[in-house]
Amino acid sequence: MSDPENRDLITSIECVNAVGQTINPIIVMAGATIKKKHVANNLAAGILLAISDSGYTNDKLSIEWIKSFDRQTKART
């Protein structure tokens, strides 16, 4: 049974360009480790999961997402 009081903050960074193309998002959760329950939800392949103390993105996570963006863009060409 879900508990409406048991909620966690997450941050999702997404990108869509002018012609409607998308790249995979990064989902940032608060914590020290990614737990099995976080990945057992049939997430689409390529979605990046990350953690930070605050649950918000930071410089390191933003750079990882940009690197992922570059890999996806190069794979399309």
Report domain extents, the chain: 10-76
Beta strands in 4-56 (DSSP E): 10-16, 22-30, 48-52
Output the pLDDT for position 71. Answer: 81
pTM comes to 0.71
| pLDDT digit string, tens, across residues 18-75 | 888 888 888 898 888 887 776 766 778 788 888 898 888 899 998 988 888 788 777 7
Angle at the Cα of 39 (from 21 to 70), degrees rounded to 5? 35
pLDDT surpassing 80 at residue 5: no
Output the pLDDT for position 40. Answer: 67
Output the pLDDT for position 34. Answer: 80
Residue 54, C-beta contacts closer than 8 angstroms, at least 6 positions apart: 30
Output the pLDDT for position 60. Answer: 92
